[in-house]
Amino acid sequence: MSSMREYAAFITATRAPLADPASIYDLVRFATLAANGHNTQPWRFRIGTSQVLMIADVARRTPVVDPDDHHLFVSLGCALANLSIAAAARGLHADSNLHDAEQGRLAVHFEPGPRENSPLFEAIPRRQATRSVYDGRSVSEADLRLLLGAARVPGVDIVVITEKQMMEQILELIIEGNTAQIQDVAFVRELKEWIRFNPRSAMQKGDGLFSASTGSPIVPTWLGSLFFNRFFRVDSENKKYTNQVRSSAGLAVFVSEREDKESYTSWSKLPALCAAGDGARDQARLPQPTRRGSPLSDTARSNRGSAESPAGSCDAFRLRARATFFASSLGCRLGRT
């Protein structure tokens, strides 16, 4: 099954510092460190002399949890952001046309430009997803202002909610959505396909969700599958989400103005959130997408004037047909500095 020491070495190599000067291959490696749903890494790259063609890898779709490929194209946008940020750190300007996303591909052209060694670049190899609880501390108003400022992206809005009663209302909807998902046999089957139960599997496949990151024991794949069938239950999973939300300083609700691949890919500008606040700040997406007309949509719309935000009223909180929501917890993780 390999050891955690071997896995740690594997991850360290994957997240090694970017070469200087960097080849396009080096830049692509940093692109693949982007956040992506289920860690499916749904992308392919065709490398040229001064350009990269990014292609949505539909063979890595998750059609049950992501039937409209929203997660897939947001993931592609995150990889584009990493690529652009890494290129800028090595004196290259990356130019792309998001309109091309409708065809499932993005051509990125590089040309010389000024060096921009930003906090976002430093954050790329350190980014990770965790499932632990927060420490209960609040996020300062100054950090929340930075968060809102960093999230000003055309076509995407954000509402930050820190009022506990409102957070409890949203938690009820998260629990409702999570319960429905876990009771869906197809969803559970698809999720299990992307779980890696031991270091060898995680390294060989180079993708998926490493179960050890959630505190699960390292076991052979066949045994992990049996354990998953036995212990992946509604009550235990809902308890995890409840603890995460209640220990969090707040929730951020993201609203997409349109539902098309270009709009999804435009979320590539949202990694600026990584630089908001100090280095101890952490965010964890609660993967409960909902649509306009759903309970979460109705709740958000009816509370648009009451959601707490250092920016005051939520005038930018626009709802268009079939807007997509994501609730993200904000705060500091226990055990993190």
What are the C-alpha distances in Å from 184 to residues 180, 230, 240, 327?
6, 15, 19, 21
- Strands across the sheet containing 105-112: 43-47, 51-56, 105-112, 92-96
Distance CA 28, CA 262 (A): 21
Question: How much is the average pLDDT of 301-326?
Answer: 34
Query: 167-193: b or e for each residue (b if 16 or more CB lie within 10 Å)?
Result: bebbbebbbbbbeebbeeeeebebbee
Phi-psi domain of 21 (left: phi exceeds 0; alpha: psi -120 through 50; beta: other): beta
202-222 pLDDT, tens per residue? 999 999 999 998 788 999 999
Look at residue 235 in the predicted model and tell me its pLDDT.
Answer: 96
Look at residue 296 in the predicted model and tell me its pLDDT.
Answer: 52
Residues ≥6 apart with Cβ < 8 Å to 142 = none
Look at residue 316 in the predicted model and tell me its pLDDT.
Answer: 27
Beta strands in the chain (DSSP E): 43-47, 51-56, 92-96, 105-112, 156-161, 195-196, 209-210, 250-256, 282-286, 325-331
The bridge status of strand 51-56 relative to strand 43-47 is antiparallel
- pLDDT over 60 (residue 310): no
Look at residue 278 in the predicted model and tell me its pLDDT.
Answer: 41
Q: Tokens for 112?
A: 């010389």
- pLDDT over 70 (residue 53): yes
Question: How much is the average pLDDT of 142-146?
Answer: 81
Distance CA 247, CA 267 (A): 27
Residues ≥6 apart with Cβ < 8 Å to 239 = none
> Residue 211 is which amino acid?
S
DSSP string, 58-93: GGG--TTT-TTSHHHHHHHHHHHHHHHHHHHHTTEE
The percent of residues above 70 in pLDDT, for the chain, comes to: 78
Q: Which of 92-96, 160-164, 234-238 has the lowest mean pLDDT?
A: 160-164
**DSSP reduced 3-state for 238:** helix
**DSSP reduced 3-state for 47:** strand
Beta strands in 139-229 (DSSP E): 156-161, 195-196, 209-210
**DSSP reduced 3-state for 320:** coil
Which of these, 53, 57, 56, lies nearest to 108 by C-alpha position?
Answer: 53
Output 155 or 177, whichever has higher pLDDT. Answer: 177
Proportion of the chain in helix, strand, coil states, percent, rounded to 5: 45, 15, 35
Question: How much is the average pLDDT of 168-188?
Answer: 92
Which one of 3.30.365.10, 3.40.109.30, 3.90.226.10, 1.20.120.1200 gives the CATH number of domain 4-126?
Answer: 3.40.109.30
Name the residue ranges covered by the structural domains of the chain. Answer: 4-126, 141-167+240-331, 177-236
259-298 pLDDT, tens per residue? 888 888 877 666 545 444 344 345 555 544 444 344 454 4
Query: 3-40: b or e for each residue (b if 16 or more CB lie within 10 Å)?
Result: eeeebeeebeeeeeebeeebebebbbbbbbbbbbbbbb
Which of these, 251, 235, 246, lies nearest to 326 by C-alpha position?
Answer: 251
Distance CA 178, CA 180 (A): 5
pTM of model > 0.85: no
Look at residue 2 in the predicted model and tell me its pLDDT.
Answer: 78
